[in-house]
Amino acid sequence: SQLAEENSWALSVHEGESVTVNCSYKTSITALQWYRQKSGKGPAQLILIRSNEREKRNGRLRATLDTSSQSSSLSITATRCEDTAVYFCATDASSSWQLIFGSGTQLTVMP
Amino acid sequence: GGIITQTPKFLIGQEGQKLTLKCQQNFNHDTMYWYRQDSGKGLRLIYYSITENDLQKGDLSEGYDASREKKSSFSLTVTSAQKNEMAVFLCASSGGQISNERLFFGHGTKLSVL
């Protein structure tokens, strides 16, 4: 089974709404990263949050980390159609050189 | 800024064929990675390399070979293509340990096996 896993396979919202993608992981980590992959492209990092951090922001994006429940969330406010993508969480759970990705959540933002 | 270039973009092979995918980066990064992505699924690590001539197996290394002859390039070989196999192979690089670094990805090589 996956070391990191998003909790929803797919989400859809209308432009302007807020949305949250959740992720759970199985072992202790040094850091957790959120990536976004648009169709036909490679993933691009959005946020890196370390195990001693509880929250990190990047513009309209906010990531939280709860090490006691081994979970993280990525919230996007004021969504835009261009936010449509697959969102992955990824952890360094197995070693400091390997980034293990979850299966991803497909987010669709409708006009 | 840097860029990761993967060639070819599309690769069509025959069952049993040996196929090589290439990746170049100009970030001057030490660490490079090959991931496989099946349709609708997450990324699975095949091989990574933390420096020139170093090779480390990921969870999905069986059926693949890799080569890191130069710091800037990392090749992946499918040793025997499987019939009807279809996947995207993503190359990435990072400056160091991934607890502190982001991965930069190429656009991928899409493999189809007839």
B76 falls in which pLDDT band (50, 70, 90)? very high
Q: What is the mean pLDDT of residues B46-55?
A: 94
Å from A30 to nearest chain B CA? Answer: 6
By percentage, how much of chain A surpasses pLDDT 70?
93
Q: What is the mean pLDDT of residues A64-91?
A: 96
Q: What is the mean pLDDT of residues B9-29?
A: 96
A36 falls in which pLDDT band (50, 70, 90)? very high
Contact residues on chain A for B4, CB-CB shorter than 8 A: 42
Q: What is the mean pLDDT of residues B38-45?
A: 86
Q: What is the mean pLDDT of residues A21-28?
A: 90
Q: Which one of B56, B99, B108 has the shortest CB-CB distance to A42?
A: B108
Q: What is the model's pLDDT at position A2?
A: 60
Contact criterion met (CB < 8 Å) for A98 and B45: yes
CATH code, domain carrying A52:
2.60.40.10
CB A105 within 8 A of CB A87: yes
Q: Which one of A33, A42, A45 has the shortest CB-CB distance to B90?
A: A42
Total domains, chain A: 1
Q: Cβ contacts of residue A27 below 8 Å, gap of 6+? A: A3, A70, A93, A94
User: Counting one residue from A and one from B, how many pairs have CB atoms under 8 Å apart?
Assistant: 62
Q: What is the model's pLDDT at position B63?
A: 95
Length of chain B: 114
Q: Please tell me if residue A7 touches chain B, with a CB cutoff of 8 Å.
A: no
Cα B95 off chain centre by: 17
Q: What is the model's pLDDT at position A1?
A: 47
Residues facing residue A50 across a β-bridge = A31
Contact residues on chain A for B3, CB-CB shorter than 8 A: none
B98 pLDDT more than 80: no
Q: Please tell me if residue A111 touches chain B, with a CB cutoff of 8 Å.
A: no
Structural domains for chain B? 4-113 (2.60.40.10)
Å from B72 to nearest chain A CA? Answer: 18
Domain containing A15 equals: 4-110
Contact criterion met (CB < 8 Å) for A45 and B106: no
Q: What is the model's pLDDT at position A96?
A: 66
Residues facing residue B73 across a β-bridge = B24, B70
Contact criterion met (CB < 8 Å) for B41 and A103: yes
**Cβ neighbours around A83 below 10 Å, total:** 19
Does residue B42 or residue B7 have the better pLDDT?
A: B7
DSSP A33-74: EEEEE-TTS--EEEEEEETT-SEEEETTEEEEEETTTTEEEE
Q: What is the model's pLDDT at position A27?
A: 84
